[in-house]
Structure formats: structure tokens, C-alpha cells
Amino acid sequence: MAVTIKDVARKAGVSPSTVSRVISNHPRISPETSRRVKEIMKQLGYHSNIMARSLVSNKTFTLGMILPRPAEELFQNHFFAENIRGITTQASRNGYDVLMTAGHSEHGELEAVTRLVKGKRVDGIILLQSRKDDPIIAFLKKEDFPFILIGNYGDNDILCVDNDNVQASYDATMHLISQGHHRIGFVSGPPNLTVSRDRLEGYKKALTDNGIRLETEWVMEGEFLQESGYRAMSFFMNLPDRPTALVVIDDIVTFGILRGLSELGYKVPDDLSLVSFNNIYLAELSSPPLSSIDIGIYQLGYMASQLLTRRIQGEKPQQLRTIVPHRLVVRESSLNIKRNWS
């Protein structure tokens, strides 16, 4: 015979309604009561009936997550894997499942989100990228549907979790300046992404504050892929007047830069110094080890999931924008080992 809520309540010495509140992670249940009831549930092998819970509460206990395009970015870039790990870890701890969906185009993504919302398949949506004039955000706001954005949309009415990407890029550029560089380039991401624009702004601000002229040909756009970095090297190192250092939008892009430099016979940091973003675990293992801005990828996903579930449960957020701190991790790729620049 299947174990019921009443069986759990009887053994735990609480009411069935208390067990139900523990299952739904009600904020008024004390941590000690929650721990004791969950332990009894585990001992008895009790599993809540999701369909029954959904009928009673009018909730699915599922979060929707929109995967980015192109697909190559998702599977090649550690940022998204670590981001998703943070999201799913926190969601699971709060009794939520995560449903992932994607589209092959902007229109396809909007259709996927529309199906999730109109079909009442999820209680909230997590967006992993911030794009200018995003139709998905416009749709979710129109529907008054709970959602959170990992990024900065420049809209004070949106719940989001982000880094201060302007300051992070400023710090990265200032580090290179402190190492004696005045010819500093920037390898960016897609221009329609807010993170690309913010990091480019921070780079420009650092140059301006130090009286360094911005060379527009030293700024190159691309995707968050190794190939973008590889192509950037063919361009930069063939310039008659090339930069001596680069701020790079992402560690994965930097790996492509390293490959291109190696094939061209250049060394890092002797011929070109590098600072990038994300501080993924491979950054420390690369040759040379990469200086990188640690943006707390796991924390971004974890907090996004946490803030969204709280909103779904009726809690009013104290602030709509939450900033995850960043820190510069200095390694060999940016150290001024040899001053051979003119």
C-alpha cells in the first residue's frame, strides 16, 4: 500500500497540513520541522503526487529555462553548463523540476516560450541571455508571467541577477594598464547582447580615464566560440600597428586566441598579454594559465532560481536587480614578463 501524507504526519507528530506545507516549501515552516518531516518521508519512502499537488495548488512545480542560440555555444561554453548546474541545484532543493527548451531562431524561441506559458506547463521562466529589444521579455511582461533574467536588460521593472559587467571590464583593462600596456584591444561578443555592450563600455572607460586613445580597429566582434578568437588573431597580428594586450569577452574565445598565436609563432605574455572573463576551470590549466575575471557563474544560476521560486511563492523581492560580485584572478597570461613593446 502506498504511503500517504497522513502516514508521514502520524510518525512525525504533526498535522497533515504541516506535511503539505513542508512539501511545498512554505516559508512559515521552521527549518527543524522541515528537516524532521523530510527525514520521515525518506524513511517511509513517501513521494508526493505531483499531479495531485498541481490540481490543489494550481502550480506545476516546474521552472522553464530557455537555452541560448546557437547550439554550439551551449555545448562548447562552460559558462552555460555551470549556470545550469546552479539553477537545477537550487530548484531541486526547493522541490522544483526544470524544463529546458530552445528554438532555432528568435521566432522559434518565442513560440517555445508561448507554448510553456499558454499551456501552463511551468510556473516561471529563466532566461539565460539578455538581448536588446527581446520579444520574449515583451511577451512575458504582457502576460504578467513570473520570470527572471540572468543579465541586464536596462529595465527597472525586470527581476534579474547579473554582474557589474562595466566595472568588471574596467578592472580587467586597468590591470593591463598597470602592467605597462597602452595599446590594448578588445575581443567582444555579439553586439545585440547586453553583456557585450557593457564590457565594451567598461573597456572604453578605462582607456578614457587613463588618457589612452581608443583604436576602433582594435575592437572586434564575434560569437562566444573558440573560432571567434582564432579568427581575431589572424586579423590582429597582421595589423601594421597591433595591440600588445587584449581584453577578451570569454575564456572559450581566449582559447581560440591562444591556438592562433601558437600557430603564428607568438608567445603569451611576451608578444601579447591576455585577460578574459568567467574563470572556468580550464583557465588555470591552459598554457599559459589565463588571467580571468571570476563572475560567479554557479552563483548567478543558483540565485536566479532562488529568486524566481520565491516570487512564484508570493514573496515580494526587496530589489529587482541582484548583483553577484566579481574578482580578478591574475595568472601568467597577463604578467609583464618582458617589456619589449614600443
Tens of pLDDT, residue by residue over 266-289, are 999 999 999 999 999 899 999 999
Which residue bears the cell 545550469?
A: 84
Per-residue confidence band for 321, with pLDDT thresholds at 50, 70 and 90: very high
The predicted model gives 224-244 an average pLDDT of: 90
Pairing status of strand 327-329 against strand 291-294: antiparallel
- Out of 1-5, 9-13, 166-170, 285-289, give the one with best mean pLDDT: 166-170
Q: Summarize pLDDT for 167-208 with one digit per residue, the tens.
A: 999 999 999 999 999 999 999 999 989 999 999 999 999 999
Phi, psi of 185 (to 5 degrees): -100, 175
Distance CA 314, CA 71 (A): 34
| Domain covering 165-294+328-334 assigned CATH 3.40.50.2300 in the classification | yes
Q: Which CATH superfamily is domain 62-163+297-326 in?
A: Response regulator (3.40.50.2300)
Mean pLDDT (whole number) for 151-167: 89
Domain spans, the chain:
5-46, 62-163+297-326, 165-294+328-334
The more confidently predicted of residues 309 and 50 is 309
Residue 322 CB partners (closer than 8 Å, separation 6+): 160, 161, 162, 303, 307
Lowest-pLDDT range of 5-14, 18-27, 284-293: 18-27
Domain 5-46's class? Answer: mainly alpha
Four-point Cα dihedral 15, 16, 18, 19, nearest 10: 130
Domains 5-46 and 62-163+297-326 share a fold: no
Q: Which residues contact 215 (CB under 8 A, 6 or more apart)?
A: 183, 185, 241, 243
